[in-house]
Structure 1
Amino acid sequence: MAQDRPNDSTALLGTWKLQSFTTEDLANGEKTDLFGAHPDGYLSYGADGRMQAILLKEGRKAPTGVVPTDAERIELYSGLSAYAGTYSIDGDLVSHHVDASWNESWTGTVQVRQFRIDGPYLYIRTLPDRNPVTGKHSTSVLVWVKVRPEEKAGR
């Protein structure tokens, strides 16, 4: 992913809203939107070197009560990916050093991503690996748009 400007930490600073999340199965080339055509989520990079990400599947339903049933809890969990930690940049790669995650198998790992910024858009490509949702050898492309300070969070 070529970059029009230098990849430094200031280029990533701020909050980005998820626009799309497409995964390609490397065995057969099939592309899917695992979290739907209109996923939700945010990715933030701070000047203190910390980052956090939350990705939510389109169409998640609120539980019927305050405490989700086991089935509701499973459905909610399967439509979620979230983690936080520190980050470092090397060329067009950003490494997320995971301190806490929705899936404990990621905690303590380094998740390396290729990135490119084009105007208000941030394109992130995961490196080929086993997908934590499907288990298949794949890569994903996530497109984010910069949240302007005057914008309110929300759907």
Structure 2
Amino acid sequence: MEADAVVGTWRLVSATRKIVETGEVIDAYGGPKPNGWITYGRDGRMMVVCAFEGRARPAANDTMSDADRIHLHKTFFAYAGTYKFDADRVTHIIDTSWNEAWTGTSQVRHVEQKGRQLIYTTTPFKFNVDGKLSVITLIWEKYP
């Protein structure tokens, strides 16, 4: 796959999670319709933002409880940095992230292109919501 093929904006259309221990496959981000976007620039920079489906909207930012803030943090991710494509994988080199734990790290995804879709698969990692070793498969569709 050529790096130029990914330049532009992509909408997340599917996110599934395979729990390694059991083999069970479930919706990764709260339901079958996660809300996410990823953008790749010709300059080698990228940004991604994703929110789980069904997140409750607090009444107001200044009256949110700590529990609300924790829930919103755990059901969202965003980061930006540079990227490299190598045939069947993409590496995101992260400059800034929503949780600071990912800042300064590289996130590798196996990638496959099918028509107007990119299919990303992670290596196994501990899922932030429940700590279970998981593999995530994301399907991104070219926008518009």
Tell whether the structures are fold-level matches, with TM greater than 0.5: yes
Normalising by structure 1, we get a TM-score of 0.86
SS of equivalent residue, structure 2 residue 4: helix
Which amino acid in structure 2 is aligned with residue 48 of structure 1? D
Structure 1 unpaired stretches of 5+: 1-6, 149-155
Secondary structure, aligned partner of 1:38:
coil
* Alpha-carbon RMSD: 1.2
String of CA shifts for 1:98-149, please: whole Å, max 9, x gaps: 111112211111100011111111111111222333322221100111102x
Q: Deviations over 1:13-46 (max 9, x none)?
A: 1000011110111111011213111110101111
Q: Is it true that 1:83 corresponds to 2:91 in the alignment? A: no
Match in the other structure for 1:3:
none
1:24 is the counterpart of 2:18: yes
Gaps of 5+ in 2: none
Identical aligned residues as a percent:
43
Post-superposition, which runs of at least 4 consecutive aligned residues in structure 1 deviate over 4 A? none
Residue 132 (structure 1) aligns with? 128
Describe the SS at the equivalent of 2:32.
coil
Amino acid at match of 2:26: T
Distance 2:91 2:142 in 1: 19
Alignment partners' CA distance in 2, 1:51 and 1:131: 23
Equivalent pairs counted in the alignment come to 142
Structure with higher strand content: 2
CA deviation digits over 1:76-119, x for unaligned, max 9?
Answer: 11210111110001120100001111122111111000111111
Distance 1:144 1:125 in 2: 11
Aligned to 1:37: 32
Does 1:59 pair with 2:31? no
